[in-house]
Structure 1
């Protein structure tokens, strides 16, 4: 009976050490006496107790790491980088898993090699660029790193999924100088915009003033033409009236100078009422009246002469 219990106990121990459970998202590398034997898939697995040993469990899920390091540009400016990388095992093939399991002594050694490789790649790229170029070359830096380490990582059994440069910062002195450059550029742009706006405003004002002067001149020209036409019509009508009066008086055998005398007296009356102290010289002699009468009769003769 005692032997039976001992045997049962040994069987339970053997059964316990024969069962291996591999979690989802991982695989287990089995060795026999220290030599690679096989790979266990996720789930319930069986192994030979005390002979087959789980050497290492490897995650096949995506993993991430954050890096912080410093680089120096071609013009000796210090640049501080914060990067986040996402990587994973290349695939679940046996050779790939063997590379991952045995290429490095442990996970810490692999991470150290990975981070130092990425830092070296970024530093070599930054060393060829000037400080003023770095901020605009974020995507170029990432592409450079991927092209440099993709083949190397594949030889280790890994694949770089993504690399993000979350922060690129310079020393405080450089940051202040960059801020001053940006501020001065903004002030220059603002001054240029203000100058352009002022130029446009003055140009428009000058155009408006020129148009106003032009319109005023056109209006004055038109008014002068109308005034001249009015004066001409007035003079024509006066001449017609005087000529008609002269004809009537001549037909009645009356002295036409009576007309001029009447106009002369009316003019003097008008000047006296509205002159406001102005001095006006009038030719009231008989010779002047006769001369004017002859001129009016000549005008009338020209108007009634056959054409």
Structure 2
């Protein structure tokens, strides 16, 4: 009989000893109560508690947690906006006061999540209600900053901190989405037309500049060619005049009539007309009077050239 009581006593002692130690996992803080009243918190590791007196009320995770939201808001111009968002939150810090708020502010985790989600949704709806539908898409960052500013103080009172709010998707009714697509398409067409017009203008401008440059180059080439032709004719005439002067001087020294030179030039001209006329008909007056008149004109021109040289 004594052995039975000894075994029972030993069993009770073992239960008391093992119940005096509790293990708290990493990333978790345990809340201890005594007869339902808050007593203290236990940090990760092996901890001692009074057996049969202190109880583990809850284990609170201090790790980051996330939750996804889907809700609807209405803009100031009565357009429905559909949001898909993700909330990232965590316990504000590991202080005793913060852990007490987390442990006792809400009945359970479900009530906390409901309050958190509804608060975020309400803040976004209030912000969107003051904006136009066309402005919502470009105000994504402003919406996030507004929600954080509104919720930080509220969540801190609950013992939590909103680390991030991501608006993953913002959509509208199908009719609005189609109209927005049409606006984007028309703007793209307008931009394409403007770009095409600019390209055509540039092409025509470059073509006109090239044509103008070509005309300038051709004109300059023609000017230089005309100048060279004039210089060539001048040199030809100068050489002819020199040759005629030498021939005339030699004929004067030989007491010959210089008119023979002019007659020879006239006959050579007729010969060249015949050789290079290419089938054209040239009418020359071959009468004696006409030849005499031509010879007189040539002699007059010769005398005029000689007088100019002497001068």
Report the TM-score when normalising by structure 2: 0.89
- Counterparts of 1:262-277 in structure 2, within 5 Å, are 262-275=264-277, 276-277=279-280
2:43 is aligned to: 41
Task: Give 1:17 deviation, angstroms.
Answer: 4.0
- Corresponding residue for residue 302 of structure 1: 308
1 CA distance for matches of 2:256 and 2:8?
A: 178
Contact 1:69 1:82 in 2 (8 A): yes
- Which residue, out of 126, 133, 156, partners 1:154? 156
Deviations 1:74-112 (A, max 9, x none): 222222212111211112222111111111111111111
Counterpart in the other structure of 1:184:
186
Match of 1:113 in 2: 115
User: Aligned residue for 2:16?
Assistant: 14
Whether the aligned pair in 2 keeps the contact of 1:243 and 1:296 (CA below 8 Å) is no
Question: 2:31 matched to 1:29?
Answer: yes
Shift in CA distance, 282/208, structure 1 to aligned 2, threshold 3 Å: farther
For residue 285 of structure 1, give the secondary structure of its aligned residue in structure 2: helix
Indicate the RMSD between aligned Cα atoms, in angstroms.
2.1
CA distance in structure 2 between the aligned counterparts of 1:121 and 1:248, rounded to whole angstroms: 122
SS in 2 for 1:120: helix
From the superposition, tell whether residues 270 and 94 of structure 1 become closer, same or farther in structure 2 (CA, over 3 Å): closer
CA–CA distance in structure 1, aligned partners of residues 269 and 32 of structure 2: 140
Matched residue, 1:62: 64
Counterpart secondary structure, 1:61: coil
Take 1:27 and 1:60, find their aligned partners in 2: how far apart are those partners? Answer: 7
Which range moved further: 204-213 or 129-138? 129-138
For the residues of structure 1 that align with 2:14 and 2:184, how far apart are their CA atoms? 76
Look up the match of 2:126: 124
Q: Does 1:173 align with 2:175?
A: yes
Query: Which segments of 5 or more consecutive residues in structure 1 lack a partner in the other structure?
Result: none
Question: Structure 2 CA distance, aligned partners of 1:103 and 1:148?
Answer: 19
TM-score (norm 1): 0.90
Q: Matches of 1:84 and 1:144 in 2, distance apart?
A: 15
Q: In 2, are the aligned partners of 1:31 and 1:54 still within 8 Å (CA)?
A: yes
Match of 1:82 in 2: 84
How far is 1:282 from its partner? Answer: 5.5
**Mapping 1:174-213, distance limit 5 Å:** 174-213=176-215
Q: Which residue matches 1:93?
A: 95
Out of 134, 145, 157, the residue aligned to residue 143 of structure 1 is 145
Q: Report the CA distance shift for 1:90/1:269 in structure 2 as closer, same or farther (over 3 A).
A: closer
Q: 1:20 to 1:292 in 2, by over 3 A?
A: same
Distance (Å, rounded) in 2 between the aligned partners of 1:273 and 1:92:
121
User: What is the CA–CA distance in structure 2 between the aligned matches of 1:37 and 1:238, rounded to whole Å?
Assistant: 134
Residue 36 of structure 1, CA deviation: 1.7
Residues 239 and 296 in structure 1, CA contact (< 8 A), matched pair in contact too: no
